[in-house]
Amino acid sequence: MAHNYERDHELNMWFVAATESWQELEDTLAAIEAKTGLTVRNMPKLHEFYVGLYFEI
């Protein structure tokens, strides 16, 4: 898991999950639902964007 955000909104918890397969992702999301009792909405990315961000050190 990465990028876990809590928000003041109906969809108040947002996180990014990465797995090696779609089945592993579905299993992971189902496990989160089972452990929390909350509905997990799978919203896969539609496009990947690259933002070149560089900091001069």
Residue 4 binned pLDDT confidence (cut-offs 50, 70, 90): low
Kindly state the percentage of the chain with pLDDT values over 70: 88
DSSP string covering the chain: -EEEEE-SSSS-EEEE---SSHHHHHHHHHHHHHHH---------S-----------
Q: Per-residue pLDDT for 22 more than 80?
A: yes
Residue pointed to by tokens 């898991």: 1
| Across 6-10, 11-15, 18-22, least confident range | 6-10
Which residue would you say has higher pLDDT here, 28 or 49? 28
Q: Is the pLDDT of residue 37 over 70?
A: yes
pLDDT of residue 2: 59
